[in-house]
Amino acid sequence: MKMRTYQRGVTLSGLIMACIVLGSAALLVMKLWPIYNEKMKVDQAMDHLANNPEGARMAKPQIVGAIMRQFDVSDVDRFNTPGLSKVLTVGRKKGSPNKVVMIAYEIRAPFFANLDVVMNYKKIIEFAPPKTD
């Protein structure tokens, strides 16, 4: 009978280590996905506002209403209308007639035990002044 000089396969300790690494990566993705998904939905709502030709003429309550409609469609539950009004800023750019809409807030989610994951979100869109006919 001929003896093999090498073996093929995975040892039990190697299999356990691979399972730990894959499990940790899966846990990380499961914990971070909701935060990333919310960020993408807020980006989408802000981009929808930026593409609105009437956006430059809107006042802050109208902008909040437009974004809240997008949040209702996208199922973003973090904000209600007064809460969104607190984190949304509407103003003019210094030295320019352009209107600026900025949303800035902090997303905090529990990760493990007393460890939290924090993402600071800030998005600014700028509107050219409305054209007068």
In the chain (133 residues long), the average pLDDT of successive 10-residue segments reads 73 94 94 92 92 85 92 89 90 83 91 90 85 63
- Joined together, the tokens standing for residue 39 give 């960020």
Our count of domains for the chain comes to 1
Is 94 contained in some domain? Answer: yes
Which domain, by its residues, includes 107?
A: 37-127
- Compute the 3-state secondary structure of the chain and give helix, strand, coil in percent, each to the nearest 5: 50, 25, 30
pLDDT (0 to 100) of residue 3: 67
What is the pLDDT, as a whole number, of residue 78? 87
- For 50, phi then psi, to 5°, come to -65, -30
Residue 18 placed within a domain: no
Q: What is the pLDDT of residue 130?
A: 67
In a domain, 32, yes or no: no
